């Protein structure tokens, strides 16, 4: 994937990728994509690089899935779409050598104190008796000093079960958006840094935490509640979803959950892209699934729902109507 990418082919590949990720390609449009890829070697090279971008940085952000009819009526959304299109085209041209300039660069995992691979879940005891768990594709640094206990979450998701500290040092989790101070608690923090910017999600199962955006007012989140924040502000706390921390045991719970949501969670535990056809996105799923074997999970879904799992390549899976 080190070949030079033609800028025009990169822009066209970015456009096709956004349409594909947004569920905007019907059968005729998919044939159009196939014809475009076959029309010139530069097109295929640019498309393979676009796929590599998605594998490295994850699926494109949720706003890309907004139907075109809504985007036409929403000028800010159209502007946002154009900005993402430009960024994606730049990433396609830049290639892996240029991605190191981004905050979400893969080399973060190589230099972090703790990291997990895609699909890996790791449980780590800390020096103060607290327990730290890292979910799939997560990176974190541990900084314990005379006056502070700090976990710097660079990317991914962690769960913290704090232990009382004889030195009364505060326990903080820090992300690029701000910090979370534990108040005798068990809580989960997920940090995502993608093309639209960074945000952090906090879910509290015991005790409470103080969420403090870098440039905003602090918010207290009590047990049984969750909130999200960026660098400017935190959302109002809302009830915590049942089984939110099931991943600690390698499990995925679905209780009348839309298939699209189940596949979004599944995709976090396997490399590459998992795409859900909008035709089947609202099918309801109930059950408890093992995250350690996503192929088996897909097979179970296919056996219980009117869907077909199509494998375009090792890295690209589409879930379609049967």
pLDDT score at 101: 45
Check if the beta carbon of residue 48 is closer than 8 Å to that of residue 266.
Answer: no
Q: Are 53 and 116 part of one and the same domain?
A: no
- Closest C-alpha among 46, 33, 44, 50 to residue 84: 50
**Better-predicted residue by pLDDT, 122 or 7:** 122
Classify the C-alpha dihedral 86-139-65-6 as positive or negative.
positive
Q: Are 76 and 133 part of one and the same domain?
A: no
End-to-end, the C-alpha distance of the chain in Å comes to 34
Q: Are 189 and 125 part of one and the same domain?
A: yes
- Closest C-alpha among 55, 44, 39 to residue 10: 44
Domain end residue (candidates: 214, 239, 264): 239
Q: Are 198 and 266 part of one and the same domain?
A: no
pLDDT score at 55: 66
**Better-predicted residue by pLDDT, 295 or 101:** 295
Q: Are 66 and 143 part of one and the same domain?
A: no
Quote the domain boundaries for residue 314: 250-321
Q: Is residue 185 part of a domain?
A: yes
Domain end residue (candidates: 200, 219, 239): 239
| Domain count within the chain | 3
pLDDT score at 96: 67
Banded pLDDT at 63 (limits 50, 70, 90): very low
Banded pLDDT at 52 (limits 50, 70, 90): confident
Q: Are 287 and 177 part of one and the same domain?
A: no
E strand intervals along 116-272:
122-125, 131-134, 139-144, 149-161, 171-175, 178-194, 197-213, 219-222, 225-229, 238-239, 251-258
Banded pLDDT at 3 (limits 50, 70, 90): low
User: Which of these ranges, 15-24, 173-182, 242-251, has the smallest mean pLDDT?
Assistant: 15-24
Token pair belonging to 212: 């403090």
Token pair belonging to 206: 């015991």
d(CA 42, CA 48): 10
Domain end residue (candidates: 99, 131, 153): 99
pLDDT score at 307: 96
Residue 2 scores a pLDDT above 80 = no
Q: Are 142 and 221 part of one and the same domain?
A: yes
Q: Is residue 244 part of a domain?
A: no
Answer whether 0.75 is exceeded by the pTM. Answer: no
- Closest C-alpha among 139, 193, 144 to residue 170: 144
Mean pLDDT over 156-171 rounds to: 94
CATH number of the domain that residue 291 is part of: 3.55.50.30
Token pair belonging to 106: 């893969």
Q: Are 226 and 127 part of one and the same domain?
A: yes
Q: Is residue 302 part of a domain?
A: yes
Burial environment of residue 196 by CB neighbours within 10 A (0 to 12, 13 to 18, 19 or more): middle
Paired strand residues for 267: none
- Closest C-alpha among 85, 81, 100, 83 to residue 50: 85
Banded pLDDT at 226 (limits 50, 70, 90): very high
Mean pLDDT over 214-222 rounds to: 94
d(CA 183, CA 202): 13
Residue 75 scores a pLDDT above 60 = no
Banded pLDDT at 195 (limits 50, 70, 90): low
Residue 296 scores a pLDDT above 50 = yes
Q: Are 286 and 207 part of one and the same domain?
A: no
Q: Is residue 2 part of a domain?
A: no
**Better-predicted residue by pLDDT, 120 or 60:** 120
**Better-predicted residue by pLDDT, 82 or 170:** 170
Residue 71 scores a pLDDT above 50 = no
Check if the beta carbon of residue 285 is closer than 8 Å to that of residue 301.
Answer: yes
CATH number of the domain that residue 138 is part of: 2.60.120.1440
Q: Find tokens 């199962």 and name the residue.
A: 205
Q: How many CB atoms lie within 10 A of CB 117?
A: 11
Q: Is residue 134 part of a domain?
A: yes
**Better-predicted residue by pLDDT, 258 or 103:** 258
Q: How many CB atoms lie within 10 A of CB 39?
A: 10
Dump pLDDT digits (tens) for 260-273.
999 999 999 998 88
Q: Are 202 and 131 part of one and the same domain?
A: yes
Q: Is residue 245 part of a domain?
A: no
Banded pLDDT at 225 (limits 50, 70, 90): very high
Q: Is residue 1 part of a domain?
A: no
């Amino acid at each position: 994937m080190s070949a030079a990418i033609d800028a025009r082919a990169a822009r066209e590949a970015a456009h096709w990728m956004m349409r594909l990720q947004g569920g905007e390609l019907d059968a005729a449009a998919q044939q159009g994509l196939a014809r475009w890829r076959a029309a010139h070697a530069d097109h295929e090279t640019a498309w393979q690089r676009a796929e590599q971008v998605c594998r490295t940085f994850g699926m494109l952000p949720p706003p890309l899935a907004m139907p075109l009819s809504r985007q036409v009526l929403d000028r800010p959304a159209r502007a946002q779409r154009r900005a993402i299109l430009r960024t994606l085209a730049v990433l396609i041209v830049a290639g892996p050598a240029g991605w190191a300039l981004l905050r979400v660069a893969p080399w973060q995992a190589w230099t972090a104190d703790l990291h997990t691979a895609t699909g890996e879940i790791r449980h780590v005891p800390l020096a103060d008796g607290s327990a730290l768990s890292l979910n799939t594709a997560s990176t974190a640094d541990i900084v314990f000093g005379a006056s502070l206990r700090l976990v710097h979450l660079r990317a991914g998701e962690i769960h913290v079960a704090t232990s009382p500290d004889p030195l009364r040092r505060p326990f903080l989790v820090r992300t690029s958006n701000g910090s979370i101070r534990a108040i005798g608690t068990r809580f989960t923090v997920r940090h995502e840094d993608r093309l639209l910017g960074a945000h952090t999600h906090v879910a509290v199962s015991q005790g409470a935490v103080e969420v403090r955006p870098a440039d905003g007012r602090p918010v207290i989140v009590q047990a049984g509640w969750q909130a999200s924040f960026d660098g400017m502000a935190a959302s109002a706390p809302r009830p915590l979803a049942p089984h939110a921390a099931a991943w600690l045991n390698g499990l995925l719970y679905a209780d009348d959950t839309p298939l699209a949501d189940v596949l979004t969670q599944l995709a976090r535990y396997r490399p590459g892209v998992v795409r859900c056809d909008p035709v089947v996105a609202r099918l309801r799923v109930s059950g408890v699934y093992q995250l350690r074997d996503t192929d088996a999970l897909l097979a179970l879904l296919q056996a219980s729902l009117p869907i077909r799992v199509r494998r375009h390549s090792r890295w690209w899976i589409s879930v379609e109507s049967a």
